[in-house]
């Protein structure tokens, strides 16, 4: 988790107010690291915390362990995320809902960054990209996890991000811990 946070933090100013979203929070370790490192950050913690039976079939088929958790396990994850970020409760908002639904609650171009680490299926990532990219201001960052993660999982991150980048004219940057980033509004059509 902390490696992902570090790759994002290198792209964010340390001395300015920031607004961002982490999509796919799980137990909140990355959210806590971001909020601790940037005391002027207001962060949206977006996760459905849905159990196996309510996850999209395409996501379950990726084999991602977070798509295969029970009601109790997801409730424990949600509680852990709230506890991990309680020190910054005035600067974080927990949106316990599907990613695309949460994006619809966020004004266009209102965020400095969005980090995607939720549904890893190709249709799930494509939907997240379409929903969240318009929420990022010009010059802000859209990024995520598992871009170059080619383990035994049939993740669709590479295909979805590459297709979106080709369509929008984005230049993809990769970094440690399988992270990817695009800076919106500076290259291509956003």
pLDDT tens for residues 69-94? 999 999 999 999 999 999 999 999 99
- CA pair distance 65, 56, nearest whole angstrom: 13
Kindly state whether residue 190 falls inside one of the protein's structural domains: no
| Number of CB atoms found within 10 A of residue 73's CB | 15
pLDDT tens for residues 130-154? 999 999 999 999 999 988 766 656 7
pLDDT tens for residues 99-115? 999 999 999 999 999 99
Kindly state whether residue 110 falls inside one of the protein's structural domains: yes
Q: What's the structural domain count of the chain?
A: 1
Kindly state whether residue 76 falls inside one of the protein's structural domains: yes
pLDDT tens for residues 35-51? 999 999 999 999 999 99
Kindly state whether residue 189 falls inside one of the protein's structural domains: no
For residue 120, the enclosing domain spans 2-183
Let me know how long the chain is: 190
Query: What pLDDT score does 152 carry?
Result: 56
What is the domain-level CATH number for residue 33? 3.40.50.150
- CA pair distance 6, 33, nearest whole angstrom: 9
Query: What pLDDT score does 188 carry?
Result: 44
Kindly state whether residue 188 falls inside one of the protein's structural domains: no
26 Ramachandran zone, left/alpha/beta (phi>0; psi -120 to 50): left
Kindly state whether residue 174 falls inside one of the protein's structural domains: yes
Read off the pTM.
0.94
Kindly state whether residue 116 falls inside one of the protein's structural domains: yes
Kindly state whether residue 26 falls inside one of the protein's structural domains: yes
- CA pair distance 58, 80, nearest whole angstrom: 26
């Amino acid at each position: 988790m902390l490696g992902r946070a570090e790759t994002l933090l290198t792209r964010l100013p340390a001395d300015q107010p920031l607004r961002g979203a982490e999509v796919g929070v799980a137990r909140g370790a990355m959210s806590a690291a971001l909020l601790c490192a940037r005391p002027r950050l207001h962060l949206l913690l977006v996760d459905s915390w849905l159990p196996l039976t309510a996850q999209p079939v395409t996501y379950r088929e990726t084999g991602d362990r977070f798509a295969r958790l029970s009601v109790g396990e997801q409730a424990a994850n949600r509680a852990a995320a709230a506890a991990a970020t309680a020190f910054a409760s005035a600067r974080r908002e927990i949106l316990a809902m599907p990613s695309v639904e949460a994006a619809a609650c966020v004004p266009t171009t209102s965020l400095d960054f969005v980090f995607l680490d939720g549904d890893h299926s190709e249709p799930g990532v494509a939907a997240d990209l379409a929903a969240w990219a318009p929420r990022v201001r010009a010059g802000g960052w859209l990024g995520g996890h598992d871009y170059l993660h080619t383990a035994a999982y049939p993740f669709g991150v590479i295909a979805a991000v590459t297709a979106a980048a080709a369509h929008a004219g984005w230049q993809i940057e990769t970094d440690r811990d399988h992270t990817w980033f695009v800076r919106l509004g500076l290259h291509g059509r956003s």
